[in-house]
Structure 1
């Protein structure tokens, strides 16, 4: 044990003192991110129709921490030029943003495409292009027309086909100027929040059935979109299509437990990533086994985890050019008593908690654990044959206003973890901070601030003011060298 500790100390000391390991590789992209519902506002402008989120926050404001909605939020629909100027001032390489399904296809299907929406997104792309900022476009970041939700949303097995049609419209209209597309943002998070915790629309508590069915359909939807691009647009536009997963780092609470951390990975990250990035495809074997076993114990005739046919396994496997990873925090895992399997809170049979030594953020679920990202990247490297990875979200909430030293230290420690992972053979091509602006944080409303830029929501002008972290990050980007903020 002492020799392992000494080795780790020596390695860390060498890396801290060896400046070569603190330089960003050639071509490494650094950017910022947002999503349509969180920043655009203009919820009923032109021919845009009501989205699932519009409906949710208008009908059940009590489900939002502060009872707010995103009808206006940062009003980036009207202030996009100002926001692009802020992005340009940062000096970043890229900007990740999403397009709104209910804005582009107000009726939910491709029979009617909004010319107004196309003009808006082309205008945004014009501004980015003029500043030399690379767009990363997320096709779906949790908002879709309420008319589709009424038909069952992601529990409707026709949803993958509707999504493929929507994605095709995006490729047709923007593929000539966008080279990086992300099909879906965080399938497991959306599906768990929508069908387990009921904190996202449609807020139905179908734990262990609805969440699995939802991810099942999202994996099919991603594959349809990927193959549509591959067949119809890749040769002409030469772009890349990926899918974004939020994955936590996991550590076994007991040092002698060599199972729980990997089990936690498979039930969160592997659930989404194994069907796409593994050599065999399909859900992880341990996940299929455990869900089936617990389903039988609960009296089900078959597993609650849906089954992919041979066709779908092959069709989904390999349906991404890169893995877009969203990482915020980590957790400790320990096994639950097997005797109480029927009453376990989850199918993996694990209990999760935080290490009290980990630093805390404004958001209760977010602890500062950069070593979790380093470990996670190496797991992805080993399990999925060293895929190309872009970190498409990483950020921290802070209640300290514009004096956000916690954000500086968070970004520094996580960028360092990424550089260490690259040194260890992980193919990480970029880093994206979440988020550019303080904005609407879903069920948390405006109670958490993740932005590099402060937005005064009490001011009719929604004044944007850079926080302390902006100047530090600008320096890092301009020098392409990661320097300690201490």
Structure 2
């Protein structure tokens, strides 16, 4: 294995043939999330969060993050790996309950703050830009017990947490992401992990959660804008996840269905912030209002923003953060369900082409052209915002000679360049992930890392995969082959 990897590295640094060059305006990085790598779940005075609680009180998760990659004790090694790769930036998240053990801002953990200060300082010493996500799904359990994101008080509690982070770390951190993938927080997390403390109200809870998340993001942004921006000179945004949704046929019904799905997924959170008019997408407001009345509700199940709230929310991002992995096919489906449902509200059926190359994750198919389509959809719908791709990656079962991952990134980076040539203002690209980590419900089975982690060894050693060397070569040369099909890699 070692000989084969070295042979690959020698090939990569002497590659010849048709290549493309990345613009100097594009920065490269890698991404992780606190619960997926840190461990130290009860170190010092850290409080319990929803996934700690879930892992210790249910059988929903096949593995837990009690130790994970042990980054709480090995962040120096993480920084070494980042230096080995030569990345421009490192996107990581802060665990809310590590710095605010009870979830509230009256009690700060000095040990938790010291941990993140050490990581941030080491990154800066290594000339790597820290990019911090404030919320990557690990809500303090105390706040979940109060109703979690269904509780409108969460808007203030999150704003308090954000202000602690801005005040504590903002002198060195210049890129802030308030929320990672709010669609997942409000739609998939309750399905996957049953994190709600009470019975979920389908077709209602999702929209209440989204309403509160959007207002929480906007409030945190306005706090930064009002108090910290002039001195710290940083930027604030959030990261939205979306697959590309392609109509299964070119019929008018399927084309409308695919567009409706994009609006219910990406537009739900992007439209209030990035559109000229603000508020939710019109198709969401119309469809949900109509179905709600048919189901006997006195008003729409989608909450309404006030005029003042629309104005406060609009424009509250300094960049468009995007996580993208794959593509779906969509067709129109007539649904006359009398029960409220977020998915039924869309009148669509989601499919994937069985001929598409699969990863270790059944939902993740290799469909690079969808990435270009999505970037252009954002460009056309939201006046071509600066777009920062904060996650893009491929899962396998742990092969360190990971040719399929190399092929995936080669294809997706090429279509990213196509999108840039189309006029899309893409300024950042981050691989998910720096190293193998806890992939939520799938535990340590689905591996996304550029570095292999031996989870059977208590020392959690990290070993570079072939993809790490490939990514390193791209960062060093800033060039990429147009096509690897005829490469000696295969």
Pick the TM interval, shorter chain.
over 0.9
Check the 8 A contact 2:326/2:367 in 1, yes or no: yes
Written as runs of structure 1 = structure 2, the 5 A alignment for 1:190-229 is 190-195=185-190, 197-202=191-196, 204-229=199-224
Alignment match, 2:276: 279
1:303 partnered with 2:300: yes
Q: Structure 1: any 5+ residue segments left out of the alignment?
A: 1-16
SS of the residue 1:202 aligns to: coil
Q: Distance in 1 between matches of 2:261 and 2:467?
A: 33
Distance 1:330 1:212, change over 3 A: same
Alignment match, 1:238: 233
Distance 1:340 1:254, change over 3 A: farther
1:376 partnered with 2:370: no
Match of 1:465 among 463, 466, 483: 463
| Post-superposition offset of 1:299 | 1.8
Match of 1:28 among 26, 29, 33: 26
Written as runs of structure 1 = structure 2, the 5 A alignment for 1:44-443 is 44-60=42-58, 62-64=59-61, 66=62, 68-195=63-190, 197-202=191-196, 204-257=199-252, 258-337=255-334, 345-443=343-441
Q: Which moved more, 1:182-191 or 1:394-403?
A: 394-403
Q: Distance in 1 between matches of 2:339 and 2:149?
A: 27
| Post-superposition offset of 1:83 | 0.9
Alignment match, 1:13: none
Check the 8 A contact 1:198/1:205 in 2, yes or no: no
Check the 8 A contact 1:194/1:211 in 2, yes or no: no
Check the 8 A contact 1:34/1:435 in 2, yes or no: yes
Check the 8 A contact 2:257/2:347 in 1, yes or no: no
Q: Distance in 2 between matches of 1:294 and 1:411?
A: 41
Q: Distance in 1 between matches of 2:194 and 2:32?
A: 18
Check the 8 A contact 1:57/1:69 in 2, yes or no: yes
| Post-superposition offset of 1:357 | 2.5
Q: Which moved more, 1:371-380 or 1:331-340?
A: 331-340
SS of the residue 2:480 aligns to: coil
RMSD of the alignment, in Å? 1.5
Q: Distance in 2 between matches of 1:447 and 1:392?
A: 23
Query: Which aligned segments of 4 or more residues in structure 1 are displaced greater than 6 angstroms?
Result: none
Q: Distance in 2 between matches of 1:382 and 1:331?
A: 20
SS of the residue 2:353 aligns to: coil
Q: Distance in 2 between matches of 1:104 and 1:169?
A: 9
Check the 8 A contact 1:102/1:108 in 2, yes or no: yes
Q: Distance in 1 between matches of 2:173 and 2:65?
A: 27
Measured against aligned partners, the alpha-carbon deviations of 1:375-432 in whole angstroms (never above 9, x if no partner) come to 0110100110011110000001012511211110111111111111111111100100
Q: Structure 2: any 5+ residue segments left out of the alignment?
A: 1-16
Check the 8 A contact 1:325/1:389 in 2, yes or no: yes
| Post-superposition offset of 1:341 | 7.3
Check the 8 A contact 1:341/1:349 in 2, yes or no: no
| Post-superposition offset of 1:285 | 0.2
